[in-house]
């Protein structure tokens, strides 16, 4: 029996983030002009890792000062070990984001509803290319992960701490507007509630670690605990309730799968979000023969049940067979393509590197910011220097 009871999680499903919500409500209740100004501010905050700008409203300035402190249980040695693991396996972790973490979230119908309601993946301003919007959303999520897991990202006032504070504030803004639009909290749970946030943090830690094992990356128990701990610190900064932070790997497994079993279910939102994600990955590969890889990887990394729930049909296309035969020939690999084969690991490594390399080249539609990878991680991952 799970230590996180249904009654407790039902309570957390209705609880949001009083600290950040109070700040946002205070500002957005002042009027249309202030609302527009804060919208522009939030857009700038979340889409840059620069220091917090000057001239913020007092409520926002106080928020950044009060939420910058790491929790008392934060262990610098474990955080460093978590960062080290990310440096060693970052390309595979990027692959997990695309082909396991995001699809697992989309398979939770309430999570998918929140994400679809923000309109960030499907909707676009008039005249804006759809792929630009896809690029922006994917870039923001991947940049968040790199900011918090880069060396020193979770130091006092480090880039990862600042980014997490901004994400927390943006979550509060999304909650505010969804509630203003009549969000059905009784049926769907409060928007971006505590159960939701705890599940997302565990997706970036536990689900990623389990996915690495699937592609042949066997971590020690100490490495698993370190990566979990680093993400627990991130969870604290973005406002996850202390009661929903699992400090052991066994507890993390218990909590995540308890939440996932409560939340999973097919939905049109989940299917649409998944299609957008697959379209994004397809757009990054120059050869049509490679278009079969993303659905294949989602099915392999998430399992056939979740793939079916998301209407992902990997199939056995002629194009995929041709590509795999070419890889076998070029690499003199004879194993079949399954989780235990060298070929499967080669495909996952190639895909992770290709996606990471593409993110380096992605700019947002205003061409104002770019995806930033610190030099130390570029060296670890064999990426060219920044231009």
pLDDT the model gives residue 137: 72
The whole-number pLDDT of residue 122 equals: 40
Give the best-scoring range by mean pLDDT among 60-64, 159-163, 207-211: 207-211
Which of the pair, 376 or 330, is modelled with greater confidence?
376
Higher pLDDT, 157 or 226: 226
Q: How confident is the model at residue 48, as a pLDDT? A: 53
**Token pair for 293:** 């890889």
Query: Which comes out higher in pLDDT, residue 296 or 219?
Result: 219
Q: Which pLDDT does position 314 carry in this prediction? A: 72
Identify the band that residue 350 occupies on the pLDDT scale cut at 50, 70 and 90.
low
Mean pLDDT of the chain: 81
pLDDT band at 152 (very low <50, low <70, confident <90, very high): very high
Q: What is the pLDDT of residue 44?
A: 57
Q: What is the pLDDT of residues 326-336, one digit of tens each?
A: 545 444 444 44
Task: Specify the higher pLDDT residue, 292 or 238.
Answer: 238
SS (H, E, C) the chain: CCCCCHHHHHHHHCCCCHHHHHHHHHHHCCCHHHHHHHHHHHHHHHCCCCCCCCCCCHHHHHHHHHCCCCCCCCCHHHHHHHHHHHHHHHHHHHHHHHHHHHHHHHCEHHHHHHHHHHCCCCCCCCCCCHHHHHHHHHHHHHHHHHHHHCCCCCCCCCHHHHHHHHHHHHHHHHHHHHHHCCCCHHHHCCCCCHHHHHHHHHHHHHHHHHHHHHCCCCCCHHHHHHHHHHHHHHHHHCCCCHHHCCCCHHHHHHHHHHHHHHHECCCHHHHHHHHHHHHHHHHCCCCHHHHHHHHHHHHHHHCHHHHHHCCCCCCCCHHHHHHHHHHHHHHCCCCCCCCCCHHHHHHHHHHHHHHHHHHHCCECCCCCCECCCCHHHHHHHCCCCCC
According to the per-residue pLDDT averaged within each range, which of 56-60, 211-215, 228-232 is highest? 228-232
> What pLDDT band is residue 81 in, cutting at 50, 70 and 90?
very high
Could you give the CA distance from residue 294 to residue 319 in angstroms, rounded to a whole number?
13
The pLDDT tens digits of the residues spanning 252-295 come to 999 999 999 999 999 999 999 999 888 888 777 655 556 777 88
Mean pLDDT of 29-51: 60
Is residue 298 scored above 80 in pLDDT? yes
Predicted confidence at residue 40, as pLDDT, reads: 64
Q: How confident is the model at residue 28 (pLDDT cuts 50, 70, 90)?
A: confident
43 has pLDDT over 90: no
In percent, how much of the chain has pLDDT > 70? Answer: 69
Look at residue 195 in the predicted model and tell me its pLDDT: 98
Does pTM surpass 0.75? yes
Look at residue 2 in the predicted model and tell me its pLDDT.
77
Whether the predicted pLDDT of 126 surpasses 60: no
């Amino acid at each position: 029996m799970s230590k996180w009871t249904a009654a407790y999680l039902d309570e957390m499903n209705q609880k949001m983030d009083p600290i950040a919500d109070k700040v946002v409500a205070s500002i957005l209740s002042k009027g249309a002009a202030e609302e527009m100004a804060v919208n522009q501010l939030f857009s700038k905050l979340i889409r840059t890792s620069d220091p917090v700008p000057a001239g913020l409203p007092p409520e926002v300035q106080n928020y950044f000062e009060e939420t910058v402190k790491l929790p008392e249980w934060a262990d610098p040695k474990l955080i460093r070990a978590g960062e080290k693991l990310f440096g060693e396996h970052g390309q595979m972790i990027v692959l997990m984001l695309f082909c396991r973490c995001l699809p697992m979230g989309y398979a939770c119908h309430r999570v998918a509803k929140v994400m679809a309601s923000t309109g960030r993946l499907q909707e676009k301003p008039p005249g804006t290319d759809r792929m630009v919007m896809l690029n922006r959303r994917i870039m923001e999520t991947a940049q968040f992960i790199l900011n918090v897991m880069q060396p020193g990202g979770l130091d006092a006032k480090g880039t990862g701490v600042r980014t997490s504070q901004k994400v927390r504030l943006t979550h509060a803004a999304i909650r505010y507007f969804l509630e203003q639009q009549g969000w059905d909290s009784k049926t769907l749970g409060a928007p971006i509630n505590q159960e939701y946030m705890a599940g997302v943090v565990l997706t970036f830690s536990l689900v990623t670690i389990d996915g690495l094992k699937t592609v042949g990356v066997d971590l020690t128990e100490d490495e698993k605990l370190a990566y979990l701990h680093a993400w627990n610190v991130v969870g604290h900064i973005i406002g996850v309730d202390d009661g929903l932070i699992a400090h052991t790997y066994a507890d993390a497994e218990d909590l995540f799968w308890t939440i996932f079993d409560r939340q999973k279910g097919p939905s049109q939102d989940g299917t649409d979000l998944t299609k957008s994600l697959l379209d994004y990955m397809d757009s990054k590969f120059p050869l049509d023969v490679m278009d079969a890889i993303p659905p294949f990887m989602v099915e392999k990394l998430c399992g056939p049940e979740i793939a079916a729930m998301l209407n992902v049909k990997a199939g056995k296309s002629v194009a995929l067979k041709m590509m795999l035969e070419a890889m076998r020939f070029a690499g003199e690999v004879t194993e079949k393509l399954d989780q235990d084969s060298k070929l499967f690991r080669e495909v996952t490594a190639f895909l992770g590197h290709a996606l990471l390399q593409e993110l380096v080249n992605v700019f947002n539609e205003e061409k104002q910011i770019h995806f930033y990878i610190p030099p130390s991680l570029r060296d670890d991952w064999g990426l060219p220097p920044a231009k």
